[in-house]
Amino acid sequence: MSNNRATKSVTFARPANTTQYAANDLVANHATAGSVVAPYVAAARFPGGNGAIKGVQLSKSTETLTAAAFRLHFFTAAPTVANGDNGAFDLTNGQAKGYLGKVDVTMDQALGDAAFGRAACDLQFDTVAPSAEIYMLLETTGTYTPASAETFTIELELERD
């Protein structure tokens, strides 16, 4: 693999409510399962390319750190969810959508009007085809209470072939 490094990011807004999440709930852009759009980035340099996710930074538009612990799941195709935002995290076709793995991220840094956390990882993507995109779903690992219409930004550190 060449030493082609890149940083890719995507932002999404969750619904305008402050309903507390239970552990293992989906954090998504819509409360209805059929309207959830999984955030994605163009990870490979070309369709069918490969590489690795070497690190993840997760940030949000509010500074609250209480129970701000999440699990980020990665796929090579858009996953289909059984529930919308704040419903139980339940995939209907995770394996068929090229499940790559997961990374746990705890937000432990607050900077005035935002919070973030980082995690190192080494998730290989060898068959990102035909789109060269990696899709993501965010899951809570605790009882997180969000701000209304809070936004999340996912930033991936990539090594690409």
Tens-digit pLDDT profile for the chain (161 aa)?
446 899 999 999 999 999 999 999 999 999 999 999 999 998 887 777 788 999 999 999 999 899 999 999 999 888 999 999 999 999 876 566 788 999 999 999 998 889 999 999 999 887 655 568 899 999 999 999 999 999 999 999 999 87
| The pLDDT of residue 45 | 79
Contacts of 140 (CB under 8 A, 6+ apart): 21, 22, 23, 24, 25, 27, 67, 69, 70, 71, 89
| The pLDDT of residue 1 | 43
Burial of 31 (0-12, 13-18, 19+ CB in 10 A): middle
CATH for 4-160, among 2.120.10, 2.60.120, 2.30.30, 2.60.40? 2.60.120
pTM: 0.92
Kindly list the domain boundaries of the chain, sorted by start residue. Answer: 4-160
| The pLDDT of residue 98 | 83
